[in-house]
A = this chain, B = another copy of it.
Amino acid sequence: MRIALLGGTGNIGEGLALRWAPKHAIVIGSRSEEKAEQAAASCEERLRASGVVCELAGKENVQAIENCDVVVVALPYEHAIPTVNSIRANLNSSAIVLSPVVPMTKDGFMRYVPRAPYDSAAMEIKDMLPDHDVAAAFHTTPAARLIDLTDTLGLDVIVCGAEASKQTVMRLVEDIDGLTPFDGGPLEASPMIESITPLLINLSARNRIKNSSIRVIAQRID
């Protein structure tokens, strides 16, 4: 697949770029072409250092999304919405948009604050892209752990969205060793998934832990 990662520097986007690069064509997008190229080169170098040789592209956002199957909006909420707005006219009709975006604010502790009338960032993005499939995932995957290629992870990823796009994203989760996808339901379930991120930030701040994430513990029905 051809995957554009908008905002692939130093965060979840960089982590996903590194983990997917051996299996998929990765294009890192940025407002600055130069920054995007630097990020792509830095990912190639990190991968080479761990014995993996592959090429990543770096382009300005609108160029980055060209012919992409999946576009990941790997940006803080404040930048995510204007960026989606700036690319939407150029998005090919079959592209799936994947949102790990979480609107939150610090007010003594981290709070989840989707912008009214939207119940979540993913639903706000969907409202901007009525003709595209939007899925949401990776809200609980610590960027620092993805970026560290020696980390074997062992984490779960809850995915929600329209059925076909959700299945595609669940396969993309499986493409990363150590991550297990769970079907979280339709995109309307995204508020319950996004709000785990500020909760995890609070847990890190208050329990002498860092890079908090979750595993789903359950009994399998055969």
Contact = CB atoms under 8 A, between A and B. Distances in A.
> How many chain copies does the complex carry?
2
A192 B155 CA distance: 20
A185 B212 contact: no
A210 B219 contact: yes
Q: Is the interface on chain A under 10, 10 to 19, 20 to 34, or 35 or more residues? A: 35 or more
A111 B206 CA distance: 28
Nearest to A186: B109
Interface in A172-222: 182-186, 188-189, 191-193, 195-196, 198-200, 202-204, 206-222
Counting chain B CB atoms within 10 Å of each CB, the highest count among A108, A111, A219, A222 belongs to A219
A146 to B, nearest CB: 13
Nearest to A203: B182
A214 B211 contact: no
A109 B218 contact: no
Nearest to A208: B221
A100 B216 CA distance: 19
Nearest to A145: B219
Given A209-B219, A213-B216, A213-B217, 9 more contacts: A154-B217, A182-B207, A184-B203, A189-B199, A195-B195, A209-B220, A212-B218, A214-B217, A215-B217
